[in-house]
Amino acid sequence: NAGVMQNPRHLVRRRGQEARLRCSPMKGHSHVYWYRQLPEEGLKFMVYLQKENIIDESGMPKERFSAEFPKEGPSILRIQQVVRGDSAAYFCASSPGDTREKLFFGSGTQLSVL
Amino acid sequence: DQQVKQNSPSLSVQEGRISILNCDYTNSMFDYFLWYKKYPAEGPTFLISISSIKDKNEDGRFTVFLNKSAKHLSLHIVPSQPGDSAVYFCAIKNSNSGYALNFGKGTSLLVTP
């Protein structure tokens, strides 16, 4: 399966712990996007990265959240000191290039904060 | 402040009939419009798109209509099939401002046999 791979599918954390969400884009794609979906809401853009560069992080909360897409390996969305309000489905998407093109989404990581 | 609105949370349609899903937006600078379909426990999958220079785009059973003056977008599925039962999101962007797709809250479509 050459689709966008996200892991873990489910992640449970206690308040104050760190959450690390991983995303491997489709083969040949060098552009990664992270979206968050709160219950009963649509997906909200968080950040757009190319290899080793953050291009647009206008949707990222200013504190506790960070993202990277290293030269080698998957993209990581990191949430420090999680709070209950961080509980959501986090989706990663990739595209081959031109941002006008459709995005290919992974199956998401469901984060639950106890 | 919801820039993209899908005012019908759910829709039920009989198999073989037409399904019409609607989406309204507020920002006249939006210029690229997409529909995504989402099954439970899966990520959204791209369905069909249209740019602001067109008012209609068709792909098999799926047609998207764009009314720029009304800031209204609709997806027609005909004939509807039980496998079309899913949540449908409209997603819109301003290609000249950032990289974000702005999603609506989704409409849950149920196609009954």
Q: Which residues of chain B have pLDDT under 50?
A: none
CA distance A27 to A4: 8
Q: Minimal Cα distance from A42: which residue of B?
A: B105
Mutant choice from B96, B103, B107, B108 vs A, greatest count of A C-beta within 10 A: B103
Render pLDDT for A46-63 as a digit per residue (tens, 0 to 9). Answer: 999 998 899 999 999 999
Q: Show which of residues 60-89 on chain A sit within 8 Å of chain B, judged by CB atoms.
A: none
* Cα A39 to chain centroid, rounded: 17
Report, as an integer, the average pLDDT of A90-95: 95
- Output b/e per residue, B4-40; b: 16+ Cβ within 10 A: bbbeeeebebeeeeebbbbbbbeeeebbbbbbbbbee
Check residue A102 and give its pLDDT. 82
Whether residue A43 and residue B89 make contact (CB cut-off 8 A), yes or no, is yes
Residues of B with CB under 8 A from a CB of A: 4, 6, 32, 34, 36, 41-46, 49, 89, 91, 95, 98-106
Confidence category of residue A101, pLDDT binned at 50, 70, 90: low
What is the torsional sign of CA B68, B69, B70, B74? negative
